[in-house]
Amino acid sequence: MLTKIFLVDALVQGPFTGAPTTVVFLETPMDKFKMLSLANEMGTSQTVYVLLHSQAAYLLRFFSRTQELPLGVHASHAAAHLIFELGLLPPDEKIEFLTQDGALVAKKAPLDQTEIGFSAISMNKMDPTNLYAYAEVLSINPKAITWGGLTPNRAAILFIDTTVQLRRLVPDREKLQKTGAAVLCVTSLDVSGGDYALRSFTPSLILPEHQVSGNIHRCLAPRWGRTLGKKHLVAHQYSNRGGLVSLDVSDPNTVAMTAKSHTILRSDLVAELQDSLSSLPR
């Protein structure tokens, strides 16, 4: 039995931008160890497994190269994009995704985009001691930081003055690791036609900077919406690939994200994923 596998660039702002994402369509459930092994083999930031659950409802499981994730925002967009592109559902029908983080609803948006609503995430204001520590990680003057916040899932978020500073940032990963933050997101007003811009760093040697961050908008968009007095926002990711997402924060509990994805590769998985090496000649 062949397993269909795709490479999709999600949350793109042009050709070969956005987050390269592996999407695997399954006819039957796959063992978690095999899922993780395949995700590591593919090497993209996220791999999403899509299994038909019932009519118009799909079960999604998300993996990084090292662990299972409760939710993958850009991977959800990649899956929705493919379901519509492959004609698995008509374009006027909504998709229900079942994830470990709860149910999601996806729909097709104008300009061949997809829209998915995600629950908003709150932030607590960062105390001055932490703020100075993160300023040291980035080698910037603490006075350049207009506000700092921390999320329940250990994301540190700094709001700084200008996109010029944002583009120049080179964080010290060793110092970042000592802070205990899983992610350090730095954001500023956008001067390239959007509302806000961002970069997202990790202490990981494998992925020191996110090509595109989807999940972080669940807390960034509501905060920027209040700051700018807007319900509809456009955000740019200033990574080496770049990403673009439109956001609606009309509902204070939900962040509706609209973005475009491009299918890059379509193939069949032909390798037999073995749990042991017992079949090898001795």
Give residue-wise pLDDT tens across range 80-137.
Answer: 999 999 999 999 999 999 999 999 999 999 999 999 999 999 999 999 999 999 999 9
User: Residues with Cβ < 8 Å from 249, sequence gap 6 or more?
Assistant: 120, 221, 222, 225, 230, 231, 232, 233, 255, 256
Alpha carbons 16 and 241: distance in angstroms, whole number: 7
Structural tokens at position 250: 């009309």
* pLDDT exceeds cutoff 60 at 275: no
pLDDT (tens digit per residue) in 127-151:
999 999 999 999 999 999 999 999 9
* Phi, psi torsion values for 47, nearest 5 degrees: -120, 130
Burial class for 47, CB neighbours closer than 10 Å (0-12, 13-18, 19+): buried
**pLDDT of 274 higher than 60:** no
Q: Which domains, and CATH codes, for the chain?
A: 3-117+261-269 (3.10.310.10), 124-252 (3.10.310.10)
CB atoms closer than 10 angstroms to residue 170: 9
Report the candidate in 232, 230, 223, 178 with the shortest Cα–Cα distance to residue 198.
Answer: 223
pLDDT category of residue 2 using cuts at 50, 70 and 90: low
With vertex at residue 64, the alpha carbon angle to CA 62 and CA 68, rounded to the nearest 5 degrees, is 50
pLDDT at 160: 96
Q: What is the pLDDT of residues 42-56, one digit of tens each?
A: 999 999 999 998 887
Summarised one tens digit per residue, pLDDT across range 195-246 is: 999 999 999 877 899 999 999 999 999 999 999 999 999 999 999 999 999 9
DSSP notation for 146-196? EEEEE-TTSEEEEEES-HHHHHH----HHHHHHHT-SEEEEEEE-SSSSSE
**Best CA proximity match to 50, nearest among 16, 17, 84:** 84
CB neighbourhood size of 31 (10 A):
10
The per-residue pLDDT for 122 is: 93
Report DSSP letters for 223-271, one per residue. Answer: HHHHHHT-SEEEEEE-SSS-EEEEEE-SSTTEEEEEEE-EEEEEEEE-S
User: By the 8 A CB rule, do 82 and 76 touch?
Assistant: no
Q: Which helix (H) or strand (E) holds 87?
A: none
